[in-house]
Amino acid sequence: MAANKRKRKIVTPKTAPYFFIAPAVLFFLVFTLWPVIQSLLLSFQTSTGGQSEFAGFDNYIRLFNDGLFYTALFNTFTILIIQVPIMLSIAVVLAVLMNSALLKMRGFFRVAFFMPAITALVAYAIVFMIMLDENFGLVNYALSLVGIDPVAWLNDPFWAKVSLIIAITWRWTGYNMVIFLAGLQNISNDLYEAASIDGAGKIRQFFSITLPQLKPIFLFTAVLSTIGTLQLFDEPFILTDGGPNNSTLTISLYLYLNGFRYFDFNYASAIAYVLVIIIALFSYVQMKVVGDDDD
Amino acid sequence: MKIWKMTLTGALSIGLLAACGGGNDDADTNEGGGNNADGNAENSEAEASEVSGEITVWGWNVAAASMELAVEQFQEEYPDVDVVVEDIGREDLYDRLTVGLASGGSGLPDVTMIETDRLDNYFAEFPDGFVNLSEYGFDEYEGEFPEAKAEAMKDADGNFLAAPWDIGPAGVFYHVPHFEEAGVDPDSIETWDDYIEAGEQIQEATGAQMAPIDISSDDALFRMMMNQLGTYYFDEDGNIDIDSDEAQQALAKIQEMREADLIANVDGWDGTVTATINHQVATVPFGVWYAGTIMDQAPEQEGEWDVFKLPAFDGDGNRDANLGGSDLSVLSHTENPDAAYAFVEYFTTDVDAQMVALEEYGLFPSLTAAYDEPFFEEEDEFFNNSPIWSTFAEVAEGTLPANYTSDYARALRYSADAQAEALLSGGEVQDALGEAAGRIENETGRERAN
Amino acid sequence: MTDKKKTSVIIRKILLYITLGIGVILSIFPFYWMFIGATNPSGAIFSVPPNLLPGDFLVENFTNLNENVGIIRVLMNSLIIALTFTFFAVLIAAAAGFAFAKYQFKGRNAIFFTLLLAIMIPYHVTLIPLFQMMADLGWLNTYRAVLLPNLAYPFAIFLMRQNMRSIPNSLLEAARVDGAGEFKIFFQIVLPTMRPALAAVAIFLFMFQWNNFLWPLVVLGDSDMYTLPVALSSLVGMSRVDYGQIMMGTTLSVLPIMIFFLLLQRQFISGILGGSVKE
C-alpha cells in the first residue's frame, strides 16, 4: 500500500509515457543506436592490415565512382518497380476473394497462403534451388509437360531477375494478403449495400469502394515492401549469389560481399548508410504521394 | 568507436603478450626436443604430459567428423587434453570466424579449419588473429608436404600461420557405361582437344553432355586449367595475372566446349550433383573430394565410375592440378596455445589420423608420407576397381603452386563474372578477362602483370 | 429467375474455389515437396521425373537428424527462445505503442521517428559492433545475447501504436476519474481490449525470432544451445549433404510456427491494423 502511494506521486499522466517508453528506448539506445553510431563511424575510416585511420568521405566518394554499386542500384530498383506492384495486386485480389461470403474453410486458406512467409531461410534456399534447376527442376519438368522448352531460371541475366521476383512474390504475397484481409474486414458493409442499391456491380464496387477504402493499407504494405525490397538480400544470396555476371547483385548483397568476403567493413558501412538514405527518401515520397492520414 | 577500439586492442594485446609468452616458452622446449634430434621417446612423452586443458575445434561436415575420429588416438599421447569438435556449416563457420576476428578475437575456438585459398585473405586482414606455428617448431615438418601446399600456409615473412591438411588433386570422374556405349577409350584422352572430340562422340551416342559447370558463380574448371598451365589469378609477386595468355587459353578452351554444347550449365552444388547422378553429363572434372559425394548420393552406381587425369593442353603438357583443400589454424586469443598446437601438430602430421580421414571420408592428405600406405595401391570397388587413390597421389605430387593472395575473394568473383560473360553472353575471352583484371586493379591497387 | 441466380452463384462459387485453389497449390506445393523429401533417402530428391510420392524413410531421416544435431533439443531451444522473446517484446512494444498513441510528451515524434528509421538499417552492418559489445559484456554464448538486442522491435512498436490509436480517450479518462493509476489503466484496461493487436504483433515477433538466423549463429558457440535455423544450416556442408535429413528438419521447422499461427489467426486478422484504418 505504501508503495502504491509513492507510485501515484511519481506516475502521473504527465510522467507515465516516459515510464512506458523507457524499456523500449533503453534497449533501443544500447542495442541499436550505439552499434549504428559505431558502424557509421567505421564508414569514415579506412583500414589496412588491422590498422584504422580517419578517411573523411573517401569511402563515400569511392562509392559514387563504383560501377558495381550502380549496377546493384539498377538491379534493386528494377526488381522493386516490377515486383512490389505485382505482389500487392495479387495480394489485394486474393484478399477480396478470401473475403467472399461464398467461401468456406477460410481458416485453411489463410494458413495455406501465409505459410510461405514463415519458412526458414535454409529450407527456402534448398527447395527453390532444386525446383528451379535448369535441367532437372520441377518447374522445367512441369513446363516440358506442356511443351515449353527448359528455361535457365538462375543462369540467364533476364530469367535470374524473373526468378528472384517469383521467389519474393511467392514468399510475401500471402503475408500482404492477410494484411489486406484485415483492412477489408474494417470496411463497413453499409457502403456496399448502398452501392448495390445504386446498381453498381461487383467490379464497380471493387474500384469505387474497396480500393479507395484500402488506401491506408496500400500505403502501409507498399512502404514495408519497398523497405524489404530495397534491403533485398536473402533471395539473391541463396539463389544466384548476385549472378550471372552481377545481373542480380543487390545493394545489400554488395554490402555483404564487401564486408564479409573482402573484409572491407569500412566500405560496407558506407554502402549501408547510403542505402538507409535511399530508403528514407523513398518512404517519405510514398507517404507524400499517397497522402498520409497519420499526424 | 575509437575509445571502444582502443580498450579492445589494449585488452587484446595484453592477451596476445600472454599468449606469445606462453608460446615462446613452449617453442624453447620444442626446440630442445628438436635439438636432441633422435628425439628419445621419454623426452617427448614428458613434454606431452605437461600439456593439458580443453580446446575447441571448428570444422564442417565430414572434416569435423574426421577430426572427431582422431581425438581418441590423440588423447593416448596427450591424455590431459580434451578436444571438443564443433561441426559448423562451411559458410556459417566463415561468417562466425570473420565476425569474431573483426571484434578482436571473441567467441572463437582454439583451432579452426580454413580452406587454403582463403588463408591469405584472413592473414592479411587479421594479422594478429593467428598463432605463429613456426614459433612452436612447425617448420620441421615443411618437407613433409608438397611445396605448393606448404607455401600457401605462410605469411609474408615465411612463418607458418596454418598447418596443411587436405588437398584436392584434380581428375576427371567419368561414367564408364557412357564411354562404353560411345566406344570411347578413356586412355586415349590426353589433351583437352581429345576430350572435346570424345565429348562429341559421347553426345552423339548417348545424348549426355561432357561437364557440369555452374557458369555464373563457380569457375572451378577454369582454375584447374590455370593451375595446370602454371598460372592463377595472381602471379607469384601478387600482380594481377588473370588476363595472362595462359588464362585466356584456358577460358577459350572452356568457351569452345560450351560452343560444342558439351557444358551443362547447372545451378550451384545441388545442380552439379543432380547432373552427375542423373547422367546428364558423362564426366565431371573436379577435386578428389567429389569421390565421396558420388558414393553418398548414388550408392547404387557402384562400379560405374572411374577417374582419369585432367587432359593436357598439348601432347606432353602438365596434367596435374589442384582444386580446394583445407588447413588448421590456431587462433591467437586461445587460452591454451600449447594444447591447441599439440592437436594441430598431431592431426596434420600423423599418418594414421590422416589415413582415417581419407578412408572414412575421402579427405585426401597433403602429408606425403601417407602416400606410401597400402591403401593407395588398392583398387577401389566403387570406382571400377581402379587404383584411383594412387592416381590422385601422383597428381598431388606434380601440382604447381598457386598464389592465392589476400584479394582472392574478389578475384574469384570477378573471374566467375568473366566466365559468365564469355560463356553465356558470347563475349570475347580477352575482353572478359581484361575487364576482370581492370576491376581487381581498381579495387585493390595491385599492378597488372599484363 | 431464381434458378438463374442460383446457377450464377454456383458458377461464381466454382470460379472462386478454382482461383483460390490454384493459389493454394502454388503456395503450399514447396511444402509438400519438402515433406516428400523428408520421407525419402538423400539422393531421391534429384530423381527424374520428379518423385512426388512419400517414401518410407521418415523414421530413418528423423533418427539420423536427431543423432546429428539433437533435433528435439534444438526444437526446445528454439521454442523457449522464441516464446520468451515474444512475451517480453510484445509487452515492451505495447507499452511504448500506448505511450506514443495516447500521451502527449516532449520528444514524442522525434523518438518515434528515430525508432522507425531503425527499420531501414540493413542488419549486416550493425552485426560486428553488436557482437563486439556482447563480447565485452561477456555475454557470448548466452541466450541473453540472442534475446536482448531485438527486444525493442521497431515494427512491433509501430503496429502497437497504430492499434492503440483506436482506444477511445473517454475510456481512459473515465478510468482516471475512477482513480486508476496509469499502470493500472495499461494492464487492466488497455491490454485486455488490445488482445487482437497483441496476437498480431506476437505472430510477427514469434516468426522473426523463430527464423532468426545470422545473429544466433554468431553469438551461440555451443551446439547444445543452437536454435533450429542454425542447426539446419550446419547440415549444409560443402561436399556431402544429406537432403533427407535437411528436408526432415525443415518440415519440423515449419510445424510449430504453423500451429502458432493457427491458434492466433482469428485475432491476428482483426488485430493486425485495427487502428490505421479508423478515421
Cβ-contact A269, A39 below 8 angstroms: yes
Task: Tell whether the torsion through CA atoms of B128, B323, A250 and A114 is positive or negative.
Answer: negative
Q: What share of chain C in percent tops pLDDT 70?
A: 94
The residue assigned the cell 586412355 is B187
Q: How far is A142 from chain B (nearest CA, A)?
A: 17
In a domain, A173, yes or no: yes
pLDDT in tens, B212-253: 998 888 899 999 999 999 999 999 999 999 999 999 999 999
Span of A118-132, B48-62, C152-166 with lowest mean pLDDT? A118-132
Partner C contacted by B99 (CB < 8 A):
yes
Exposed, middle or buried: residue C115 (CB in 10 Å: 0-12, 13-18, 19+)?
Answer: buried
Partner C contacted by B89 (CB < 8 A):
yes
**Residue B6 pLDDT > 70:** no
pLDDT at A238: 80
In a domain, A244, yes or no: yes
Q: How far apart are CA B349 and CA B337, in angstroms?
A: 18
In a domain, A295, yes or no: no
Whether residue A167 sits in one domain with residue A257? yes
In a domain, B191, yes or no: yes
Q: How far is B390 from chain A (nearest CA, A)?
A: 34
pLDDT at A191: 84
In a domain, B44, yes or no: no
Q: Do C261 and A111 touch (CB under 8 A)?
A: yes
Across the range C84-104, mean pLDDT stands at 95
Chain B residue numbers with beta carbons less than 8 Å from the beta carbon of A160 are 216
Across the range B72-79, mean pLDDT stands at 93
Confidence of residue B204 (pLDDT cuts 50, 70, 90): very high
Chain C residue numbers with beta carbons less than 8 Å from the beta carbon of A98 are 20
Q: What share of chain B in percent tops pLDDT 90?
A: 68
Q: How far is C143 from chain A (nearest CA, A)?
A: 15
Whether residue A73 sits in one domain with residue A38? no
Cell readout for A90 is 495479387
pLDDT at C43: 73
Whether residue B304 sits in one domain with residue B208? yes
In a domain, A59, yes or no: no
Whether residue B110 sits in one domain with residue B131? yes
pLDDT at B337: 94
pLDDT in tens, C107-120: 999 999 888 888 88
Whether residue A102 sits in one domain with residue A232? yes
Partner A contacted by C186 (CB < 8 A):
yes
Q: How far apart are CA C2 and CA C239, in angstroms?
A: 67
**Chain B from 341 to 360: CB within 8 A of any A CB:** none
Q: Which helix (H) or strand (E) holds C14?
A: helix C2-38
Q: How far is A53 from chain C (nearest CA, A)?
A: 17
In a domain, B389, yes or no: no
Q: What share of chain B in percent tops pLDDT 70?
A: 89
Is this prediction's pTM over 0.95?
Answer: no
Whether residue A271 sits in one domain with residue A183? yes
Chain C residue numbers with beta carbons less than 8 Å from the beta carbon of B362 are 239
Cβ-contact C33, A139 below 8 angstroms: no
**Whole-number average pLDDT of chain A:** 86
Task: Give the phi and the psi of residue B406 in degrees, each rounded to 5.
Answer: -75, -10
Q: Which helix (H) or strand (E) holds B349?
A: helix B337-349
Residue spans of beta strands (DSSP E) within B309-367? 322-330
pLDDT at B19: 37
Span of A176-180, C29-33, C222-226 with lowest mean pLDDT? C222-226
Whether residue B137 sits in one domain with residue B192? no
Across the range B11-18, mean pLDDT stands at 38
Cβ-contact B170, B321 below 8 angstroms: yes
pLDDT at B33: 34
Least CB–CB distance from A265: residue in C16, C128, C270: C128
Least CB–CB distance from C96: residue in A24, A35, A213: A24
Across the range B62-74, mean pLDDT stands at 90
Whether residue A113 sits in one domain with residue A14? no
Which distant-in-sequence residues (6+ apart) come within 8 Å of B246 by Cβ? B226, B229, B230, B231
The CATH number of residue B407's host domain is 3.40.190.10
Cell readout for A65 is 565512382
pLDDT in tens, C172-197: 999 999 988 899 999 999 999 888 88
Chain A interface, best mutation among B95, B96, B209, B267, by max A CB count within 10 A: B267
**Residue C279 pLDDT > 70:** no
pLDDT at B107: 85
Using alpha carbons, select from B442, B58, B18, C134 the residue that is nearest to residue A67.
B442
pLDDT at A106: 83
Cβ-contact A206, C99 below 8 angstroms: no
Cα separation of the two ends of chain C: 41
pLDDT at B326: 94
Q: Do A122 and C49 touch (CB under 8 A)?
A: no
What structural domains does chain C harbor?
Answer: 58-271 (1.10.3720.10)
In a domain, A210, yes or no: yes
Q: What angle do CA C171, C173, C175 make, to 5 degrees?
A: 70
pLDDT at A291: 62
Q: Do B292 and C240 touch (CB under 8 A)?
A: yes
Q: Do A122 and C232 touch (CB under 8 A)?
A: yes
Q: How far is A165 from chain B (nearest CA, A)?
A: 17
In a domain, B385, yes or no: no
Confidence of residue C239 (pLDDT cuts 50, 70, 90): low
Cβ-contact B424, B320 below 8 angstroms: no
Whether residue B175 sits in one domain with residue B66? no
Q: Do B89 and C223 touch (CB under 8 A)?
A: no
pLDDT in tens, A234-280: 888 888 888 788 999 999 999 999 988 888 889 999 999 999 999 99
Whether residue B182 sits in one domain with residue B163? no
Across the range B128-150, mean pLDDT stands at 93
In sequence order, what DSSP letters do the residues of C132-172 get, joined into one string?
A: HHHHHHT-TTSHHHHHGGGSS-HHHHHHHHHHHTTS-HHHH
Whether residue A12 sits in one domain with residue A140? no
**Residue C276 pLDDT > 70:** no
Whether residue A111 sits in one domain with residue A73? yes
Task: Give the phi and the psi of residue C213 in degrees, each rounded to 5.
Answer: -120, -60
Whether residue B181 sits in one domain with residue B163? no
pLDDT at B71: 93
The CATH number of residue A219's host domain is 1.10.3720.10
Exposed, middle or buried: residue B164 (CB in 10 Å: 0-12, 13-18, 19+)?
Answer: buried
In a domain, B268, yes or no: yes
Amino acid of residue C172 = L
Confidence of residue B41 (pLDDT cuts 50, 70, 90): very low
The residue assigned the cell 532468426 is C212
Whether residue A220 sits in one domain with residue A86? yes
Chain C residue numbers with beta carbons less than 8 Å from the beta carbon of A8 are 181
Q: How far apart are CA B418 and CA B421, in angstroms?
A: 5
Q: Do A41 and B95 touch (CB under 8 A)?
A: no
Q: How many domains does chain B have?
A: 2
Chains touching B (at least 3 CB pairs under 8 A) are: A, C
Q: Do C105 and A14 touch (CB under 8 A)?
A: yes
Partner A contacted by C273 (CB < 8 A):
yes
Partner B contacted by C120 (CB < 8 A):
no
pLDDT in tens, B306-322: 999 999 999 889 999 99
Whether residue B13 sits in one domain with residue B59? yes
pLDDT at A292: 53
Beta bridge partners of B264: B212
Cβ-contact A18, C95 below 8 angstroms: no
Partner B contacted by A55 (CB < 8 A):
no
Partner A contacted by C113 (CB < 8 A):
no
pLDDT at A4: 53
The residue assigned the cell 561414367 is B175
Confidence of residue B23 (pLDDT cuts 50, 70, 90): very low
Whether residue B179 sits in one domain with residue B161? no
pLDDT in tens, A182-235: 888 878 888 888 888 888 888 888 888 888 888 888 888 898 899 999 999 988
Cβ-contact B271, B212 below 8 angstroms: yes
pLDDT at B44: 42
**Residue B26 pLDDT > 70:** no
**Residue B103 pLDDT > 60:** yes
Across the range C165-175, mean pLDDT stands at 90
Partner C contacted by B87 (CB < 8 A):
yes
Across the range C114-143, mean pLDDT stands at 87
Whether residue B173 sits in one domain with residue B162? no
Cell readout for B105 is 578475437
Partner B contacted by A38 (CB < 8 A):
yes
**Residue A5 pLDDT > 60:** no
Across the range B149-164, mean pLDDT stands at 92
Q: How many domains does chain A have?
A: 2
In a domain, A52, yes or no: no
In a domain, B145, yes or no: yes
Across the range B285-296, mean pLDDT stands at 89
pLDDT at B202: 96
Cis, bond preceding B186 (omega within 30 deg of 0):
no
Q: How far is C68 from chain B (nearest CA, A)?
A: 10
In a domain, A51, yes or no: no
pLDDT at A9: 62
Least CB–CB distance from C128: residue in B102, B273, B290: B102
Q: Which helix (H) or strand (E) holds B55?
A: strand B53-59
Whether residue A165 sits in one domain with residue A35? no
Using alpha carbons, select from B297, B15, B25, B228 the residue that is nearest to residue B128.
B15
CB atoms within 10 A of CB A105: 10
In a domain, A129, yes or no: yes
Confidence of residue C273 (pLDDT cuts 50, 70, 90): low
In a domain, B318, yes or no: yes
Whether residue A136 sits in one domain with residue A245? yes
Long-range own/partner contacts, residues B88-91 (CB < 8 A, 24 or more apart):
B88/B58, B88/B59, B88/B60, B88/B64, B88/C234, B89/B60, B89/B61, B89/C233, B89/C234, B89/C235, B89/C236, B89/C237, B90/B60, B90/B61, B90/C236, B90/C237, B90/C238, B91/C233, B91/C236
Secondary structure class of B54 (helix, strand, coil): strand
Whether residue B152 sits in one domain with residue B90? yes
Q: How far apart are CA A250 and CA A233, in angstroms?
A: 7
Whether residue B341 sits in one domain with residue B269? no
Span of A31-45, A181-195, B430-444 with lowest mean pLDDT? A181-195
Q: How far is C236 from chain A (nearest CA, A)?
A: 9
pLDDT at B40: 38
Question: Distance between alpha carbon C56 and the CA centroid of its chain, in Å?
Answer: 32
Using alpha carbons, select from C167, C146, C252 the residue that is nearest to residue C209.
C146
Whether residue B216 sits in one domain with residue B189? yes
Least CB–CB distance from B265: residue in A129, A137, A152: A152
Whether residue A35 sits in one domain with residue A83? no
Residue spans of beta strands (DSSP E) within B302-413? 305-308, 322-330
Q: Do C234 and B92 touch (CB under 8 A)?
A: yes
Whether residue A256 sits in one domain with residue A119? yes
Q: Structural domain of residue B302, as residue ranges?
A: 169-322+399-444
Q: Structural domain of residue A9, as residue ranges?
A: 2-42
